[in-house]
Amino acid sequence: MKAVKCKDGHLSFISSHDAKLFNKIDFDKFLDINTLDETTLHQCEEMYKQNVIRKITTKEGKVGYKIYPQKTKV
């Protein structure tokens, strides 16, 4: 289990499998949708529905996932 900040700044608990994917997206800063297999894509879609990660389109036209900012400015 891991606690992460969601879209509105609320904390949400995610499972260890989701935490591995979340950490990968956090490390890479962007996860391209074309590089994912079917199970990982489904896992990302579920996390997107829970507002844990966001789906974006880059200027180059690539679609992928990023995490919401975890730190807030004081």
d(C-alpha 34, C-alpha 32), whole Å: 5
Residue 7 pLDDT: 87
> Can you tell me whether residue 43 is helix, strand or coil?
helix
Residue 8 pLDDT: 85
d(C-alpha 49, C-alpha 68), whole Å: 13
Q: Does 48 fall in a domain?
A: yes
- Check which CATH number belongs to the domain holding 12 and give it: 1.10.10
Q: Does 21 fall in a domain?
A: yes
Q: Does 16 fall in a domain?
A: yes
- Can you spell out the DSSP letters for 11-32? EEEE-HHHHHHHHHHHHHS-EE
Q: Does 73 fall in a domain?
A: no
Q: How does pLDDT run across 36-50, given as a tens digit for each residue?
A: 999 999 999 999 999
Residue appearing with tokens 């997107």: 48
| Count of the separate structural domains present in the chain | 1
Q: Does 27 fall in a domain?
A: yes
Tell me: pLDDT of 1 over 80.
yes
Residue 40 or residue 71, greater confidence: 40
Mean pLDDT to the nearest integer, 12-21:
93
Say if CB 51 and CB 39 are below 8 A apart.
no
Residue-number span of the structural domain to which 47 is assigned: 2-67
